[in-house]
């Protein structure tokens, strides 16, 4: 039995050795301060900054307090993997704000091969599950966004109509940098610009969006059982989607 454990122990040791050392928590309190730039995260009264040295400030007070809560939740070290909202805000401020058109274009490109448009030919149970989750979203995209999407029973890419893509582009256009970052996160996590926009507009809750994005995977697990490693990865991704959903929800409230 000892011989069988050695490879696993070696792998675990290698992972520990290659993981970067996390910075120690250097502050006693994370809080929020109102300023000309918006609502700023402060650490022991000092204004926090992004990796690019920009002020870590957002327009919405609730989002700012959620950021502070992430920093307060850090114990002895600061673990970015457990701070999805902070990562999202940093990306919005340092990168997306200067690349708005490129980020919009990437979201629209996802719509061109949107998850909900590519359907299984079988088994019957999976086909039914996809239609139940995605059929209403296809109708919503048509009726609310003006995007008539083509459905395909194949994995071969089929180009969507230009008019549909123009409608998606129009739906994406109003978002500011933080909202666009959140929409992009939701799009990439779900594989669907339509699911992301439905989440942003309140058509779907975060749980409904998550379920719609994992119809195939959930059906497979119902047939063959759960994979603990996959479930752990999903938990991390769900936390990221919840952070994006908070930003999108607060964006609707403004």
Which domains are present in the chain? 2-78 (3.30.2180.10), 97-253 (1.10.3580.10)
Tens of pLDDT, residues 6-33:
444 555 555 555 567 899 999 999 999 9
Q: What is the mean pLDDT of residues 157-161?
A: 94
The CA distance from 32 to 48, in Å, is: 10
Tell me, what's the pLDDT at 224?
Answer: 86
Which comes out higher in pLDDT, residue 233 or 19? Answer: 233
pLDDT at 5 exceeding the cut of 50: no
Give 95: exposed, middle or buried? Use CB within 10 Å, 0-12, 13-18, 19+. middle
Task: Give the tokens for residue 110.
Answer: 């996802």
The CA distance from 36 to 106, in Å, is: 31
Q: What is the mean pLDDT of residues 239-254?
A: 95
Q: What angle do helix axes 177-190 and 206-213 make, rounded to 10 degrees? A: 40
The CA distance from 74 to 203, in Å, is: 33
The CA distance from 86 to 92, in Å, is: 10
Tens of pLDDT, residues 175-217:
999 999 999 999 999 999 999 999 999 999 999 999 999 999 9
The CA distance from 137 to 93, in Å, is: 31
Q: Within 13 A of 76's CA, how many CA atoms are on the CB side?
A: 1
pLDDT at 3 exceeding the cut of 60: no
Start-to-end CA distance of the chain, whole Å, equals 61
Confidence of residue 148 (pLDDT cuts 50, 70, 90): very high
CA gyration radius for the chain?
A: 21
């Amino acid at each position: 039995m000892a011989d069988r454990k050695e490879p696993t122990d070696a792998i675990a040791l290698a992972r520990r050795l290659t993981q970067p050392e996390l910075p120690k928590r250097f502050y006693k309190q994370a809080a929020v301060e109102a300023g000309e730039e918006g609502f700023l995260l402060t650490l022991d009264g000092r204004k926090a900054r992004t990796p690019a040295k920009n002020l870590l400030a957002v327009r919405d007070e609730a989002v700012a307090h959620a950021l502070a809560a992430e920093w307060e939740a850090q114990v002895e070290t600061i673990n970015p993997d457990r701070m999805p909202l902070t990562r999202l805000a940093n990306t919005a401020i340092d990168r997306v704000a200067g690349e708005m058109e490129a980020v919009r274009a990437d979201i629209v490109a996802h719509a061109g091969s949107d998850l909900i448009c590519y359907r299984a030919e079988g088994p019957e149970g999976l086909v039914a599950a996809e239609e139940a989750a995605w059929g209403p979203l296809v109708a919503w995209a048509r009726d609310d966004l003006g995007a008539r999407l083509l459905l395909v029973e194949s994995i071969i890419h089929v180009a969507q109509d230009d008019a549909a893509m123009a409608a998606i582009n129009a739906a994406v256009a109003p978002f500011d940098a933080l909202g666009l970052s959140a929409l992009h996160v939701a799009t990439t996590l779900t594989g669907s610009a339509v699911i992301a926009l439905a989440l942003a507009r309140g058509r779907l809750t975060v749980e409904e969006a998550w379920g719609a994005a994992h119809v195939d995977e959930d059906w497979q697990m119902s047939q063959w059982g759960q994979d603990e490693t996959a479930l752990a990865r999903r938990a991390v991704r769900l936390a990221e989607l919840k952070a994006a959903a908070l930003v999108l929800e607060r964006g609707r409230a403004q």
